[in-house]
Amino acid sequence: MIDNLFSIPIRKYHVDNNQDFLEYFIGVHNADSFTVPSPYIQGIELPDWTVPFYTSILEEFLHDLNAYDTHYASIRGVVLKVLDQGEGSERIDTLPSHYTLTHYIQLPAGQSSDIFHHPAKILVNAVDPKIEGLPDYLNAAGLYVNNGDVIIHPSFLETGSPVNQHPDKRMTLTLIVTLDKNE
């Protein structure tokens, strides 16, 4: 069976001064940790000093799409997610936005990225022959990422965070992005 008919462009970038982000967002989390239920998933405002970093990444992304001269990217929302040991998050998409940018601020040792779920797997399952002895087709995959990596993917692609098995916190910042045409 062919289940790779729909290509899903996932792009990877990197923030070099990730330690500044880590220190700042640990402070945000610590200030709110007693008022926000666990797992900590909270909409926040981006501090002004971070905007040039994300603007630069989004400009590079637009160049990669060959859309820099015709479109601009707008950040429509920002979510800080901090998972303690034993916490994970369910499948989610960020529709109706166009793209999702995830900055991996802190990943515990030995952990990788979120799990990305195949967007057409429900359709593929309808024609999957389920032949005995053959493994099921994969409906999800992860990426290899490090602290400071940034992943951008279409918002219709569902993601989920695996359970954090490590005592260190797992911290990501998700930006909801739309592309608008230049006028």
Mean pLDDT, rounded, of the chain:
85
User: 9 pLDDT band (50/70/90 cuts)?
Assistant: confident
Q: Looking at residue 22, what is its pLDDT?
A: 97
Stated pTM of the model: 0.85
pLDDT at 170 over 60: yes
Q: Looking at residue 121, what is its pLDDT?
A: 58
Spatial distance between the Cα atoms of 129 and 139, rounded to a whole number of angstroms: 15
Strand order in the sheet with 99-106: 11-14, 149-154, 99-106, 170-181, 71-83, 40-43
Give the type of residue at 64.
Answer: D
Task: Give all domains of the chain, ordered by start, each with its CATH number.
Answer: 12-125+137-181 (2.60.120.620)
pLDDT at 128 over 70: no
Q: What is the CA radius of gyration of the chain?
A: 18
Q: What is the pLDDT of residues 48-87, one digit of tens each?
A: 999 999 999 999 999 999 999 999 999 999 999 999 999 9
